[in-house]
Amino acid sequence: MSIRVESDKDTGVALVTLDRPAKHNAIDLETAAELGAVWRAFRHDESVRAAVVTGAGGKAFCTGIDRSAEVPQPPSPYSLDDPLLTIGPKANDLWKPVIAAVEGMACGGAFYLLGESDFVIASHEATFFDPHTTYGMVSAYESVFMAQRMPAGEVARTALMGTAERLTARRAYEIGLVSELTEPGGAAAAALRAAAVVASHPTKAVQGTVRAVWSATEASRLQALAHAPHLVALGNVPPQRQSELFTSGRGRGGFRLR
Residue type (1 letter), 21: P
Distances (CA, A) of 194 to 13, 46, 189, 190: 10, 19, 9, 6
What are the distances in angstroms from CA 43 to CA 90, 95, 141, 144, 207? 11, 8, 25, 26, 11
User: Mean pLDDT throughout 3-27?
Assistant: 97
**Helix or strand or coil: residue 152?**
helix
Any idea which of 70-79, 118-127, 218-227 has the lowest mean pLDDT?
A: 70-79
Query: Using CA atoms, how far apart are residues 235 and 61, in angstroms rounded to an integer?
Result: 28
SS3 2: coil
- Specify the pairing of strand 13-18 against strand 3-8: antiparallel
pLDDT of residue 255: 79
Assign 244 to helix, strand or coil: helix
Q: How far apart are CA 147 and CA 249, in angstroms?
A: 29
Quick one: fold of 3-186? 2-enoyl-CoA Hydratase; Chain A, domain 1 (3.90.226)
**Among 125, 109, 224, CA closest to 172:** 125
Average confidence (pLDDT) over 110-131: 97
Q: Parallel, antiparallel, or unpaired for β 98-102 and 50-55?
A: parallel
Under the banding of pLDDT at 50, 70 and 90, the label for residue 93 is very high
What is the pTM assigned to this prediction?
Answer: 0.91
Domain boundaries along the sequence of the chain? 3-186
pLDDT tens digits for range 142-157? 999 999 999 999 999 9
CA dist 79 and 230 (Å) reads 8
